[in-house]
């Protein structure tokens, strides 16, 4: 846990009223926590400066659209889906971005280049064949093994408050924290059960009768470099089924219930919903 020291402050009541309005009992637990989070946003205590984005999927459920366009590049309101994620990361001063590419990866490289036009640095890790979510991360180990970092699925739209999630991650001091949200039909996603702040059970696309929570995995994670101790040493592996169970067993798996908007574009139905409902950053 993070070391803390008790202090006394005299605060203008109008400011205090605004602070109290941010308390939701979940992401902001109490007045003390509210001040800590707000201060962390203006003081450079951000210990997470890198992001790893999974952008190598074939997007088979979006064919024929993805015969010519890689899934992270499908247009949302005139811009590639992936562009919104990169701009959100920059907003929170996360400017060192690694893109894992594979299928039609040259089109992603051609569009984003080295990231300079967005004010970020982009490095590419290329898969010759699909390696799974854990396999892709293993390939990026030389770029990430000495730091905390964010990992994001490349086919989502979100406006998550990364400053709050990073603070939550640092506060817990665990190997892994994933962002969770609620949906009406959890069966299409990875479903998590929380006990306090820890995830104690996780099921990938469970059957209806097995669902006991409406909290689902958003595909947004923060990991410490210790995550690589959990990655199998094989060509193809999945974080959801091969890494999460061991993290839970070791008590190193935390859930952060996010606010804000979250949409995915993995199917045509989801894609159409994203086009209609996305509000932007």
User: What pLDDT shows up at residue 256?
Assistant: 95
Burial (0-12, 13-18, 19+ Cβ within 10 Å), 106: exposed
Segment 191-232, tens digit of pLDDT: 999 998 999 999 888 777 777 788 999 999 999 999 999 999
Q: Are 103 and 58 in contact (CB under 8 A)?
A: yes
| Structure tokens given for 213 | 């929570």
pTM of the model: 0.83
Instruction: Give tens-digit pLDDT for 54-111.
Output: 998 877 777 877 788 888 988 899 899 999 999 999 999 999 999 999 888 899 999 9
The stretch 108-116 carries a mean pLDDT of 95
Q: In 3D, which of 158, 154, 159 has the Cα closest to residue 263?
A: 158
How many Cβ atoms are within 10 Å of 73's Cβ, its own excluded?
A: 21
Structure tokens at 276: 């209609």
Residues 6+ apart with CB under 8 A from 186: 206, 211, 213, 214, 215, 216
Give yes or no: 50 in active site. no
Single out the catalytic residue among 77, 91, 121, 205: 205
Q: Report pLDDT digits (tens) over 231-276.
A: 999 889 999 999 999 999 999 999 999 988 999 888 888 888 888 9
SS3 49: coil
Give all strands (DSSP E) within the chain, no chain letters. Answer: 50-55, 75-76, 79-80, 96-101, 121-126, 149-153, 156-158, 176-182, 190-195, 198-204, 215-223, 253-257, 262-264
Domains of the chain: 43-277 (3.90.550.10)
Buried b (16+ CB within 10 A) or exposed e, 117-155: ebebebebbebeeebbbbbbbbbbeeebeeebbbbbbbb
């Amino acid at each position: 846990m993070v070391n803390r020291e008790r202090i006394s402050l005299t605060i203008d009541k109008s400011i205090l009223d605004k602070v109290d309005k941010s308390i939701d009992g979940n992401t902001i637990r109490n007045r003390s926590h509210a001040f800590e989070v707000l201060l962390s946003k203006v003081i450079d205590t951000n210990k997470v400066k890198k992001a790893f984005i999974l952008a190598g999927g074939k997007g088979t459920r979006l064919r024929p659209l993805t015969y010519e366009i890689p899934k992270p590049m499908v247009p949302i309101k005139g811009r590639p889906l992936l562009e919104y994620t990169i701009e959100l990361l920059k907003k929170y001063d996360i400017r060192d971005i690694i893109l894992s590419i594979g299928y039609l990866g040259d089109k992603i490289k051609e569009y984003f280049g080295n990231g300079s036009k967005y004010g970020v640095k982009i490095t590419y890790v290329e898969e010759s064949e699909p390696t799974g979510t854990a396999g892709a991360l293993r390939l990026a180990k030389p770029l990430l093994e000495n730091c905390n970092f964010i990992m994001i699925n490349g086919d989502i739209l979100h406006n998550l408050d990364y400053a709050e999630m990073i603070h939550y991650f640092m506060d817990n001091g665990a190997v892994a924290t994933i962002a969770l949200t609620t949906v009406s039909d959890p069966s299409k996603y990875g479903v998590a059960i929380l006990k306090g702040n820890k995830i104690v059970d996780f099921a990938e696309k469970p059957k209806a009768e097995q669902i006991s929570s409406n909290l689902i995995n958003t595909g947004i994670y923060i990991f410490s470099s210790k995550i690589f101790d959990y990655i199998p040493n094989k060509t193809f592996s999945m974080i959801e089924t091969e890494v999460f169970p061991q993290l839970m067993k070791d008590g190193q798996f935390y859930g952060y219930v996010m606010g804000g908007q979250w949409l995915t574009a993995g199917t045509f139905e989801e894609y159409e919903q994203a086009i209609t409902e996305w509000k932007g950053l």
